[in-house]
């Protein structure tokens, strides 16, 4: 099909299979409509929808970025294009601090710096064949699915929003939101722990079952560890590479968005062991000052400041999880992850509850159905907020019980 109306070039028709749009734009559209119609409600509005950080950047990162910008202002220290895979100083700091210091043998040149793991989720499909059978958790971070739809690895959408050709791994309260490997063969498996949206974490034994499966089926695990900094339980692995054998069957995605508060700054990285694949990114990596800012998160002050940020958001998670329980709701997650996954009361659908919370409590949450069919009957509260807002949401949640 050619581009409609102006009839130039051919379209990637896979895009036409995409459903109502990426979940968060749909949430934003409903919130915008509500705010236009109800200015009073708009003034009271508290957003616990998209998991976007609210607190200022760690001062160590700010100082490092300022110094780097100054360097660019002098001929002697000016830099043009950086290395495509990222500057050596950042790649080696990551490999050392996040992996080798934890006895995981990752080499500096197995780290690929990017402007966030969302993009890498899409780019990684460029190097994988279109005949791969793909498995995703359900509920799922929509980017894993949508990038596969756009790359043509799926059939059309079904009525419930799922896609033909994708193997869905149900994550339910019965399996503590951690799926077991399927009985059948798949080639590529997306896993995310700590999980977005359920806040669940996987034990070493559960991850080892996935590594065994991958080895047995010659499958590739795409492990999203964007929230690893939120793990407080010392028994829970921070990386898939903590599991013996994973170096030959896994790729790991990490991000500075949720630990260093870089959602707007943009910086993440992918760990691609040489035994799995080689990769050269499509882009020229990330701005020099941003990479210096990311490096500074590993300094002694940076680490301390990141840990204070995590404590702040996890303090909110406790307030919100307790409030949901006090309101008589069944709540999961929020202990090793900044998301609370809550059962909707009285069989209300998740979009109905979204609309009701928007209208009556003036609180934005994310409806579980937007994350997949198994998300129906749940909603997600994000703990990324000021403490004041988290406490106010906790107060407002009380009235959900009485209404």
Residues 131-150 that bind ligand MLT (CB under 6 A): 141
Given the complex with ligand MLT, which of 122 and 182 has the nearer CB atom? 122
CA distance 338 to 186: 30
Q: How far is the CB of 352 from ligand MLT (least distance, A)?
A: 21
- The smaller minimum CB distance to ligand MLT, of residues 196 and 316, is found at 196
Interacting residue with ligand MLT among 57, 94, 115, 118 (CB under 6 A): 118
Residues numbered 171 to 210 that lie near ligand MLT (CB under 6 A) are: 196
- E strand or H helix at 43, and its extent? helix 39-44
Closer residue to ligand MLT, CB minimum distance, 52 or 71: 52
Q: Which of 18, 35, 50, 107 binds ligand MLT (CB under 6 A)?
A: 50
Contact segment (CB under 6 A) with ligand MLT among 49-57, 206-214, 292-300, 303-311 equals 49-57
Q: Nearer Cβ to ligand MLT, position 18 or 50?
A: 50
Q: Which two tokens stand for residue 323?
A: 């409030």
* 3-state DSSP assignment of residue 93: helix
Say how far apart CA 384 and CA 390 lie, in whole Å.
Answer: 9
Name 304's Cβ contacts closer than 8 Å, sequence gap at least 6: none
Q: What is the distance of C-alpha 26 from the center of its chain?
A: 18
Report cis status (omega within 30 of 0) of the bond before 373. no
Q: Given candidates 27, 47, 48, 51, which one binds ligand MLT under the rule CB under 6 A? A: 51
Q: Which stretch binds ligand MLT (CB under 6 A): 45-53, 89-97, 126-134, 180-188?
A: 45-53
CB closer to ligand MLT, 258 vs 292: 258
Shortest approach of ligand MLT to residue 212 CB, angstroms? 29
Q: Which secondary structure element, helix H or strand E, spans residue 369, and what is its range?
A: none
Binding segment for ligand MLT (CB under 6 A), chosen from 47-55, 186-194, 244-252, 274-282, is: 47-55
Distance between CA atoms of residues 47 and 52, nearest Å: 10
User: Of 51 and 273, which CB lies nearer to ligand MLT in the complex structure?
Assistant: 51
Q: State how far the Cα of 258 lies from the Cα of 57, in Å rounded to an integer.
A: 11
Distance CA(128)–CA(288), nearest Å, equals: 29
**265 neighbors 292 (Cβ within 8 angstroms):** no
Smaller CB separation from ligand MLT, 118 or 312: 118
> How many helices (H) and strands (E) would you count in the chain?
11, 13
Rounded to the nearest whole angstrom, what is the least distance from the CB of residue 264 to ligand MLT in the complex? 12
DSSP 8-state symbol, 281: -
Distance of CA 115 to the CA centre of its chain: 14
Which region, judged by CB under 6 A, interacts with ligand MLT, from 48-56, 70-78, 209-217, 311-319? 48-56
Binding piece for ligand MLT, criterion CB under 6 A, among 37-45, 46-54, 163-171, 201-209:
46-54
**Nearest one of 23, 13, 19 to 152, comparing CA atoms:** 13
Tell me the number of residues near ligand MLT by CB under 6 A. 6
Q: Of 397, 259, 351, whose CA–CA distance to 27 is shortest? A: 351
User: Per CB under 6 A, which of residues 209..268 are in contact with ligand MLT?
Assistant: none
Select the residue whose beta carbon is closest to ligand MLT and give its number. 51
Q: Which is nearer to ligand MLT, 24 or 298 (CB)?
A: 24
User: Which residues lie below 8 Å from residue 80, measured CB to CB, with a gap of 6+?
Assistant: none
State the minimum distance, in angstroms, from the CB of residue 270 to ligand MLT: 15
DSSP type of residue 380: E
Footprint on this chain of ligand MLT (rule: CB under 6 A): 50-52, 118, 141, 196
């Amino acid at each position: 099909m050619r581009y409609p109306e102006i009839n130039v070039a051919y379209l990637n028709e896979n895009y036409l299979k995409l459903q109502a749009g990426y979940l968060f734009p749909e949430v934003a559209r409903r919130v915008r409509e509500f705010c236009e119609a109800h200015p009073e409600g708009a003034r009271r509005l508290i957003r616990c929808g998209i998991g976007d950080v609210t607190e200022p950047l760690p001062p160590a990162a700010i100082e490092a970025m300022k110094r780097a910008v100054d360097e660019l202002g002098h001929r002697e220290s000016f830099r043009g294009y950086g290395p495509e895979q990222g500057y050596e100083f950042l790649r080696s700091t990551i490999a050392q601090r996040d992996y080798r210091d934890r006895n995981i043998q990752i080499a500096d040149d197995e780290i690929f710096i990017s402007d966030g793991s969302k993009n890498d989720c899409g780019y990684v499909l460029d190097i994988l064949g279109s005949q791969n059978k793909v498995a995703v958790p359900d509920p799922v971070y929509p980017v894993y699915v949508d990038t596969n739809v756009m790359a043509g690895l799926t059939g059309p959408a079904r009525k419930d929003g799922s896609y033909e050709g994708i193997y869905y791994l149900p994550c339910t309260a019965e399996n503590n939101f951690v799926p077991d490997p399927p009985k059948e063969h798949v080639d590529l498996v997306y896993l995310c722990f700590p999980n977005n949206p359920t806040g669940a974490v996987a034990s070493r034994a559960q991850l080892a079952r996935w590594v065994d499966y991958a080895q047995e089926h010659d499958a590739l695990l795409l492990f999203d560890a964007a929230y690893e900094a939120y793990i407080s339980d010392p028994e829970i692995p921070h990386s898939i590479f903590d599991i013996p054998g994973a170096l030959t069957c896994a790729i790991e995605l990490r991000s500075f968005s949720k630990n260093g508060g870089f959602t707007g700054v943009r910086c993440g990285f992918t760990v691609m062991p040489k035994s799995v694949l080689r990769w050269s990114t499509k882009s020229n990596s990330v701005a020099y000052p941003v990479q210096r800012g990311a490096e500074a998160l590993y300094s002694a002050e940076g680490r301390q400041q990141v840990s204070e940020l995590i404590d702040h958001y996890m303090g909110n998670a406790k307030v919100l999880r307790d409030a949901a329980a006090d309101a008589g709701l069944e709540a999961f997650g929020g202990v090793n992850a900044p998301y609370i996954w809550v059962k909707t009361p009285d069989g209300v659908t998740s979009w109905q509850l979204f609309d009701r919370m928007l209208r009556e409590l003036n609180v934005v949450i994310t409806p579980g159905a937007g994350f997949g069919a198994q998300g129906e009957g749940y909603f997600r509260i994000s703990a990324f907020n000021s403490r004041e807002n988290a406490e106010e949401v906790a107060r407002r949640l009380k009235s959900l019980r009485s209404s």
